[in-house]
Amino acid sequence: MSLLMSGIGFGIISGAILSIGAIGFSLQFGMTNVMNLSYGSVMTIAALTTYELTVSGLSVWIAAFIGVLVGAVLTIMIAWLILRPFARKGYELFQMAMVSVGVSIFLDYVAASISRSKIYQFNFPLGAEHHVLGMLFSTTDFIIIGISLAAVALIELALHGTRLGVAIRATSANSELAGASGIYTKMVSNLTWLVSGLFCGLAGVTLAMSYRTVSFTMGTAFLPYILAVVILAGVGSVGFAAAMSLALTLVIQISGAFGASSYNVVIALGVLLVTLLVRPQGLFGRLFEKKGIAV
């Protein structure tokens, strides 16, 4: 029973972190139709930035805030300086994904250079311990879970209850028609990339906070779980992506508690492949009916 509750506890924490990353990826992918596979590498850079700033003596919370901003700025730079020019040249979906793979490899080498290919202990203060129904949480765990819940609520409210959400869906469906209707599509696209970058940076920082380690491969290693959740929920279905994050991490962590931890990535990729085979649009369809690339 203790192993089961321990697995559920770790699953809740991991699900909160995964949902943060999945929301950002799903929002950006659903809006622009670009599978930005450098997402995990940006997470790594955000986490490394936070770690390096704390080592230099900066407050861990200020360093974490700056790390999140670095993720957002780097994401915008990738969109503006790399992906957008290729999109203007008429690159299709697969070609754009390959461009993002190249960016990912470059960023991984940058991260390896910064970290000297080492794994560092991230001494982030966890706070007091809290026992809940046989599960153990730290104060930092509660903060991460709270951030995740707030993120889901804010994104869902923005997409379904504001004019901005209407503009995002309209731009996603047909950017030319949306522009002709008076929507400033470039601003909508830029805002989507910015929000996606903020979530990406936040996912990288919270991952380091929870695992208390930082390495040059941490974000890239986390990306398969994000892809599995986004495809499982349906591209653009950000609320369902959060729910699927929790479901997937509970399965992984509970099975890991009983000795199957070495199969975590296999489970995630298995979910991804089965979903693509049986229901490629995802369990809940997709929020955006994208017809082309809108970087």
Is 261 domain-assigned?
Answer: yes
- CB of 70 within 8 A of CB of 37? no
Q: Phi-psi bin for 294: left (phi > 0), alpha (psi -120 to 50), beta?
A: beta
Better-scored residue on pLDDT, 7 or 286: 7
Return the pLDDT at 145: 92
Per-residue pLDDT band at 138 (split at 50, 70, 90): confident
Domain span at 122 = 2-278
Is 119 domain-assigned?
Answer: yes
Better-scored residue on pLDDT, 55 or 180: 55
pLDDT in tens, 192-225: 999 999 999 999 999 999 888 999 999 999 999 9
Is 134 domain-assigned?
Answer: yes
pLDDT in tens, 237-273: 777 888 888 888 888 877 776 666 666 767 777 777 7
Residues 6+ positions from 35 with CB-CB distance below 8 Å = 29, 93, 96, 97, 100
Angle in degrees, CA 117, 120, 124, rounded to 5: 150
Per-residue pLDDT band at 108 (split at 50, 70, 90): very high
Task: Report d(CA 26, CA 31) in Å as an integer.
Answer: 8
The residue among 155, 157, 158, 181 whose CA lies nearest residue 170 is 181
Is 151 domain-assigned?
Answer: yes
- CB of 20 within 8 A of CB of 202? yes
Better-scored residue on pLDDT, 275 or 60: 60
- Alpha-helical (H) ranges within 33-129 are 39-55, 60-78, 84-88, 93-115
Q: DSSP character for 125?
A: -
Is 254 domain-assigned?
Answer: yes
Is 7 domain-assigned?
Answer: yes
Return the pLDDT at 292: 63
As a whole number of Å, the end-to-end CA separation of the chain is 49
Q: In angstroms, what CA-CA distances link 72 with 76, 78, 246, 282?
A: 6, 10, 24, 27
The residue among 283, 289, 26 whose CA lies nearest residue 169 is 289
CATH number at residue 205: 1.10.3470
Residue type, position 143, single letter: I
Half-sphere exposure of 207 (CA within 13 A, CB side): 34
- The residue behind tokens 């670009």 is 34
Tally DSSP H helices, then E strands, for the chain: 12, 4
Is 289 domain-assigned?
Answer: no
Residues 6+ positions from 288 with CB-CB distance below 8 Å = 30, 31, 168, 169, 172, 173, 235, 236
User: Which pair of tokens denotes residue 116?
Assistant: 């000297």
**Region 118-131 average pLDDT:** 80
**Region 49-71 average pLDDT:** 93
pTM of the model: 0.89
Task: Identify the helix (H) or strand (E) that includes residue 211.
Answer: helix 185-211
pLDDT in tens, 140-184: 889 999 999 998 888 888 888 788 778 877 777 677 777 777 778
Per-residue pLDDT band at 134 (split at 50, 70, 90): confident
Is 290 domain-assigned?
Answer: no
- CB of 265 within 8 A of CB of 224? yes
- CB of 295 within 8 A of CB of 32? yes
Mean pLDDT of the chain, nearest integer: 85
Better-scored residue on pLDDT, 228 or 272: 228
Total number of domains constituting the chain: 1
Residues 6+ positions from 82 with CB-CB distance below 8 Å = 99, 103
Return the pLDDT at 159: 81
Better-scored residue on pLDDT, 216 or 2: 216
**Region 23-48 average pLDDT:** 92
Task: Report d(CA 258, CA 100) in Å as an integer.
Answer: 37
**Region 7-28 average pLDDT:** 89
